[in-house]
Amino acid sequence: MLRPLAVADNAAMPTEPSNAEPPKRQRRFQFRLRTLLIVVTLLCVVGGYVASQARIVQERQSWLADKTTIWSYTTLDSAVFSCASEFQNAFASNCHIPIIRTRLGDKPIYSIEYDRNTPEKTQYELRRVFPEAVEIKAAQE
């Protein structure tokens, strides 16, 4: 059943617009879905990079703490460089680790001495974990 139309429903619109200004609403910051996806993707990439660097730092610190394999090591800060050795000076100027790893507590390693009985696989792992080390050699007894 249809209800009967009321006369008030058919009232005419005012012919003159009102001079009163509409209330101003402050717009909040707006962004598109595409912008949100780009920002989230960038945050994930940066977070993944930091996490991978943290894993590297943790692995390097566990190797340096293992006194059964590594007898001694020298950090770049404590290494004494002479002008006679061009290779050492080139290492001092070119050796660096990413800043994020420095902030996470890592230091560049100059040299490592390991036990003579260390298997070749472990020696390879030392070279992989410490690529900036100039000297990785068996300890002299």
Tens of pLDDT, residues 3-17: 665 555 555 556 666
Give me the residue label for tokens 């460089």: 81
Cα 125 from chain centroid (whole Å): 23
pTM of the shown model: 0.63
Residue 16 confidence (pLDDT): 66
Delimit the domains of the chain by residue range: 35-138
Which residue type, as a one-letter code, is found at position 50?
Answer: V
Per-residue model confidence as pLDDT tens digits over 63-120: 888 777 777 777 765 444 433 344 555 545 556 788 899 899 998 888 888 877 888 8
DSSP secondary structure letters along 30-83: ---HHHHHHHHHHHHHHHHHHHHHHHHHHHHHHHHH-TTTEEEEEETTT----T
